[in-house]
Structure 1
Amino acid sequence: MTRPTARVLALLEILQAGGTRTAADLAQRLGVDERTVRRYVEHLVDLGVPVESVRGRYGGIHLVPGYRMPPLMLTDDEALAVVLGLVGSRRSGSAGTGGVPGASTVALESATAKVLRVLPKTLARRLDALLTGVRFTMPTGDPATVQADHLLVVAEAARDRRPVALDYTDSQGRRSSRTVHPYGIVAHAGRWYVTAADPSAPGVRTFRVDRIEALTTLPGSFEVPEGFDPAGALLQAVAGAPRRHAVRLRVQAPADAVRGMFPAGIATLRDTHDTDDTDDEGWTRVVIQVERLDWVPTVLAGVPVPFVVDGPEELWPLLRALADRLTAAAAAAPAVAAAAAPAAEG
């Protein structure tokens, strides 16, 4: 379910108010063009909503007289898709409501509340647990498809502080069964994750929800550490996961300043005063775990303070190649400006 879902629901809301609306009026209210309005109408017709389009000077679009929307009978997957479409629109600011700042948030929250009110209580309660508990690491694309029941059950368990037993397959294809304490749900880079404590192992673990094969809520309860940040814990785990290459560098700035110089979730940082490198005081060590090195030079080019790359050696030719391209572009700039000057004066 894509973000235009919010506008399709908004169109239905307008038509249910009664009367005949022109395509131009609907386009203005929804913040789209008339062709898109007609596509939304076709979508409603495909869903079984009797929308009529009347041609002529006094024509327009309206619902068949006497029609009333029946109670929503959605599967868990359908309800999850609708609500997440609304949440995605709210986060991206893409919902059209006349371009009034803040109005889109109000409209989408209202639409979400209406959807929850007409769903079965058990499903609505689970969806509400997800909406109130989910954390986002960044405004990325729509999260990948996942089994709705698993996501909703673990979200409800995280809200109610209930342990869960799960069967899980990791990235290496290894299967395991364990009991965990779910601390929170995080949407990151198109995936759903649960951050959880495993009583049988130290530290906080992260699990991809689409890799959970079976899930059962257990009796009992647990406490979440005060101030725990599920999104921050996930980003730290993602950044520290071993990959083919470990890019090592030192940046001449405090760790707090360096953290904002890199995209979220790709770098682990450590102040050099935590080590024996007394000659590097005031620097921060950075490690970036990557599968490919080709995109790393462009990221490093954006670091605004001095830094030293300690490895791997395979990265150095790529850095020199980027430096050569930038140097050539800088050298060509005065010549291009000089050639353009006479034309501008003429």
Structure 2
Amino acid sequence: MPIEHARACLELEAEAIRALIPRINDQFAAAMNMILNCHDRVIVTGMGKSGIIGKKIAATLASTGTPAFFLHPAEGIHGDLGMVTAKDIVIAISNSGETNEVIGLLPTLKRIGTPIIAMTGRKESTLTQNADIFLDVAVECEACPLGLAPTASTTAALAMGDALAMALLSARKFTPEDFALYHPGGALGRKLLLTVENVMHGGEDLPIVTPDKTVKEALFSITAKGLGAVLVVESLTTMQLVGLLTDGDIRRSLEKGHEFLDKSVAELMTKRPRTITKDKLAAQALNIMEKNQPRPITLLPVVDSEFRAIGIIHLTDLLRQGVV
């Protein structure tokens, strides 16, 4: 029986979300346009479980380009309404549309002149009747077998909030770089903010040789720099990248003997290797390494706009920075 209730819960909540799709209508578009034209903040409010959903919606809006914060309605009617101005927009969440604390905000909001978007399940409710825009999040029944705990209704409200946030994100042409700006901490921030320049080896750490040097001389350079490869440049003056020689190339050649060690680097190097520029995200370097054909690679030369060698990036550098 409990397992059946669990499955029924998911079915009912999934159906509650599916039922929202036809409600992405003129009212939804009006809410989106109102927020797009707002030059101040979106203030989300709700009591109890609706308040918890409201906090999540406010957080999602704030992290995707729409300045927003959550206002607890009980605190609002005891002074925190001073945070609200006529230039803001309030999204008020209440399944019944009759929650006392939320309704208690309405007289002051009306007096201030703040536009109100009601996210509720009842078109005839006090909240809806006093709102400028109505987002219908009604559900046929709660997923709670007792019909008491807010379940399907809170899921529907959260999904509608997500839909609104994603529509706004699209309308604002919000980019991964914009997203990174608001997520500087943790692994996500590292993936979205860290550039190749931040992790590459350059300057005196850069292993370089010219094509006329012997493989043996290149091997000494590889060993000295400890990066497992050497960049091959046309000359130390021009620094034009012409190839890449790795310790893997050398090991594979050793299977056929050691005579090649006296040959020129030009005979063994990989010509036209994959490269990247220093302004690209470190995550893009990882993508190039992983998607390289016919096999993944562990190093990438870094070049400037004129294809001059300026650095090298190794997979272990990305590992250390938490990009992988």
| TM-score, structure 2 normalization | 0.18
Larger strand share, 1 or 2: 1
Structure number with higher relative contact order (C-alpha < 8 Å, ≥ 6 residues apart): 2
TM-score with structure 1 length normalisation? Answer: 0.17
- Highest CA radius of gyration, 1 or 2? 2
